[in-house]
Amino acid sequence: MKISAKLVAFGMAAGLSLTLQASQAAAQKSKDTIRYATTESIKLLDPYFFTHFEASPLYETIYDTLVAYDSRSHKVVPMLAKAWTEVEPGVYDIELRDDIAFSNGDKYDADDAVYFINWMISPEARIHNKPRYMWTKGAEKLGQYKFRLRMVKHTPKDLLDMGGYTWQENSKVHSKLEDKGSYGRNPIGTGPYRVAQFESNKALVMVPNEKFTPTPYRQKARVSRIEAMFIPDQDTQIAQIMTGGVDIMRDPSPDHMAEMAKNKNLEISAFDSDNMIYLQFDAMGRSGHKPVQDARVRRALIMAINQDELIKHLAAGGHAAKKLGSMCRPFMQGCESPAVLPPAYNPGEAKKLLAEAGYPNGFELELISRNPSKDAAIGLSGYWNEIGVKTNVQLLQISALDKMRADGKLQAYIGERPYTTPDASHPMDIFFFDKRRDYWDDAQIRTWAEEGLSIFDPKKRADHYKQIFDKINTQAYMMAIHTLPSVFIHSKDVKIHDNPLVDTNTNIGDFTWK
């Protein structure tokens, strides 16, 4: 694999930068400050309005949810809620902790919880991915630290919904804002860090929240200051980390990793994550591209992909990446290995399928992607070009991607997807019930998914969902390729702690100095 000329130039200059790098890192260590580079711009710090891939590790240190999911024990655990009782199917009485305050000193209580649950489902709340919040009928206050939560439908994932979509913000501040989206420009939360300075799309400074109360699942701030800086060009990030301008960068390319591994002042850490790289096709023809409407063509495109080679050579932190066979992950409720795996790698058979489908000389295909999955996109284009499919890769920013997807213009897309609700129903909500994202229009899958929400026996439920993921593989609608490890290049003096809740999540609050 060829390393870029710019990267080679960095490597030639590495010896000159080591002394500067070490002294800069020592200076930041003495200040107890960690400087963190982001590749894509962050315009807001608000999970209701800006759910960006690189924003979540930051806002997860600012806000808390009512409950959380412990992926190790597969249990829902307390966060801001300390106890809950199911008074009847789909109706829960929630008791809140009485020792929580926002970073501005305001007391957190049932007024905040009730306000945000009722606001997020109101017609006035024009929040990102609104359908995912419509699992509740609303909430009513029972006391200063107690409220009642009513679900739209009683399902096995009631508590998971309460954990994944109830980020708690300050209702006293939020309710007075005419533009609710502006809350994310001056965020106030209950988490271990608070925002001291934020310039949209430029820089962010976070410091410890003195009002924070730690729990077994949520530790206090580990450093005195975190500085997040927007640096869109990864070569520039490399230059900055080599000269000590930043202490941490995320998700380097394999070429960058290979070069940086030679630097004695840096370390590379890779962790499993709840994120994965997946591929999807426009099977229903929204984009007007005829070839991918044929299941034989979709299977041929998948058969041309060498998953093992892709992971080994193009997945940064490939040793931590896991090969996937299903859109459902084992740590999620209701998930198990599918009986039907995706078509196996066989480029010769792929060419035969294309000929059988009427494309012996291939066709042209547009593959859309984003920066976190660009190496995989380039790899796929190479595999597909080898079987005669002339592939044009386009990299988009998140806003442009969202519009193109909603407008039905994606012929094929490879991207990353975290599962914020660890349940088998979550891929259904994301891909098959969200009309902006649905490129398959499979009524049978939607029916099975609806039925799965009424099955409470864990084994019967897993068996039921298995037929859905088997059909996705049989029809080659989508392909889960591999997990997307969280990979960090960082100063050798930086330590990354295990996340207390999950093995598949690392946020900026887990970093400290050795």
Sign of CA dihedral 103, 66, 483, 56: negative
| Per-residue pLDDT band at 485 (split at 50, 70, 90) | confident
pLDDT tens sequence across 59-79: 889 999 999 988 888 889 999
CA distances 18 to 14, 28, 243, 246, 385, Å, are 6, 15, 7, 14, 42
* Beta-bridge mates of residue 412: 281, 367
Top CATH class, 275-483: alpha beta
Element (H, E) at 472: helix 458-474
CATH dotted code for 5-45+185-270+487-513: 3.40.190.10
pLDDT-derived band at 300, boundaries 50, 70, 90? very high
Q: What is the pLDDT of residues 423-481, one digit of tens each?
A: 999 999 899 999 999 999 999 999 999 999 999 999 999 999 999 999 999 999 999 99
What is the residue extent of each domain of the chain? 5-45+185-270+487-513, 67-174, 275-483
| Residue 212 clears pLDDT 50, i.e. is over it | yes
The pLDDT, as a whole number, for residue 293 is: 98
Q: How far lies 191's CA from each of 98, 115, 141, 495, in Å?
A: 15, 19, 23, 21
Mean pLDDT of the chain: 89
The string of pLDDT tens digits covering residues 230-239 is 998 889 999 9
Lowest mean pLDDT among 106-120, 272-286, 306-320, 406-420: 306-320
| Distance from C-alpha of 94 to C-alpha of 110, rounded to nearest angstrom | 9
pTM recorded for the entire structure: 0.79
73: CB partners within 8 A, 6+ apart: none
pLDDT number for residue 361 = 96
* pLDDT tens digits, one per residue of 155-186: 999 999 888 778 999 999 999 999 999 999 99
Q: Are 15 and 270 in contact (CB under 8 A)?
A: no
pLDDT value at residue 158: 93
Q: How far is CA 219 from the centre of its chain?
A: 22
Running DSSP on this structure, what letter comes out for residue 433?
Answer: S
Q: At what angle do helices 295-303 and 347-356 cross, to 10 degrees?
A: 160
Q: For residues 20 and 167, give the distance between their C-alpha atoms in angstroms, rounded to a whole number.
A: 41
d(CA 423, CA 425): 5
Question: Which residues in 4-32 are b (16+ Cβ under 10 Å) and which e?
Answer: eeebeebbeebeebbeebbebbeebbeee
Whether 419 and 165 have beta carbons less than 8 Å apart is answered as no
DSSP string over 135-171: TEEEEEEEETTEEEEEESS--TTHHHHHHHS-----H
Residue written as token pair 């891939």: 53
Structure tokens at 9: 């130039």
Res. 320 pLDDT band, cuts 50 70 90: confident
CB 194 within 8 A of CB 209: yes
Residue 223: pLDDT above 60? Answer: yes
pLDDT at 402 over 80: yes
Architecture of domain 67-174 in this structure: Alpha-Beta Complex (3.90)
CA 162 to chain centre: 18
